[in-house]
């Protein structure tokens, strides 16, 4: 499922009829959707956990140069894709990892990676590398929105946190086309940044003191 943790927990805790669940999970989604807390909740309830998007749609297989440099400097040499998949396999709550493949070479690489996987095989140094990769990705965030929701509801219907999340996503992964896709598909016309009338009502409520109206123009310019 792709809901937030509260929605996931409601489903998992709502019945004992489930045998397994499927969640999006990777080292950049530990607090997104079900996240690590949801993974552990499902396992504690006796559910097998199938992980999708271990490479975040392939983005973690082709990281920015600073992330690649950190991985290349590590004494254990793995490809970025293998680091990401092995990090998921390392966790005892994970039952199955689903990784999209489009070539025979990728199939063979995934087979080798799965065969070499072991629960708890990551050292402290390995975990530190993943934490550093996550930090480097996060440092690329442009708008310091914490998605607290205090700015909502917008009197004109704009989904402020979601617009900022998609804008940051485009910068985080150097993926403007992907950001444009999310902007056009996951937001209605009223929810998009272009519907902002710059009333500034939201800015009075923002704990981060973000110049929301100004950033909405930037979001529109990049993604609309």
Q: Cα(207)–Cα(224) distance, rounded to whole angstroms?
A: 27
Output the pLDDT for position 181. Answer: 96
Mean pLDDT of 84-109: 93
Q: What tens digit of pLDDT does each residue of 16-38 get?
A: 889 999 999 999 999 988 999 99
Q: What tens digit of pLDDT does each residue of 89-100 get?
A: 999 999 999 988
Range list of H helices, the chain: 5-14, 35-44, 65-72, 80-89, 104-116, 124-138, 160-172, 176-186, 212-223
State the pLDDT confidence band at 1, using cuts at 50, 70 and 90: low
Which CATH fold would you assign to the domain 5-138? TIM Barrel (3.20.20)
User: Does 42 have pLDDT greater than 70?
Assistant: yes
Q: Cα(42)–Cα(18) distance, rounded to whole angstroms?
A: 10
Q: Which residues contact 178 (CB under 8 A, 6 or more apart)?
A: 57, 169, 170
Question: Across the chain, what does the average pLDDT equal?
Answer: 93
Q: Which residues contact 102 (CB under 8 A, 6 or more apart)?
A: none
CATH 3.20.20.100 range(s) for the chain read: 5-138
User: Does 214 have pLDDT greater than 80?
Assistant: yes
User: Does 2 have pLDDT greater than 80?
Assistant: no
Backbone angles phi, psi at 179, to 5 degrees: -65, -40
Strand order in the sheet with 96-97: 20-24, 48-52, 96-97
**Structural tokens at position 142:** 């442009």
State the pLDDT confidence band at 128, using cuts at 50, 70 and 90: very high
């Amino acid at each position: 499922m792709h809901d937030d943790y509260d929605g996931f927990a409601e489903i998992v805790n709502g019945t004992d009829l489930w045998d397994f669940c499927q969640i999006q999970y990777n080292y950049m989604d530990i607090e997104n959707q079900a996240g690590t807390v949801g993974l552990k909740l499902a396992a504690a309830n006796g559910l097998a956990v199938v992980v999708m998007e271990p490479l975040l749609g392939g983005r973690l297989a082709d990281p920015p140069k600073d992330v690649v440099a950190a991985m290349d400097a590590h004494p254990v040499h793995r490809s970025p894709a293998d680091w990401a998949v092995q990090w998921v396999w390392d966790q005892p709550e994970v039952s199955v990892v689903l990784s999209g493949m489009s070539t025979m070479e990728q199939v063979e690489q995934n087979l080798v990676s799965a065969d070499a996987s072991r629960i708890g095989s990551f050292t402290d140094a390995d975990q530190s590398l993943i934490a550093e990769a996550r930090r480097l990705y996060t440092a690329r965030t442009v708008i310091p929105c914490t998605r607290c929701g205090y700015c909502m509801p917008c009197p004109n219907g704009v989904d402020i946190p979601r617009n900022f999340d998609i804008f940051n996503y485009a910068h985080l992964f150097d993926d403007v086309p992907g950001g444009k896709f999310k902007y056009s598909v996951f937001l209605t016309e009223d929810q998009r940044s272009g519907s902002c009338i710059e009333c500034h009502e939201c800015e009075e409520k923002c704990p981060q003191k973000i110049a929301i109206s100004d950033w909405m123009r930037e979001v529109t310019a990049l993604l609309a």
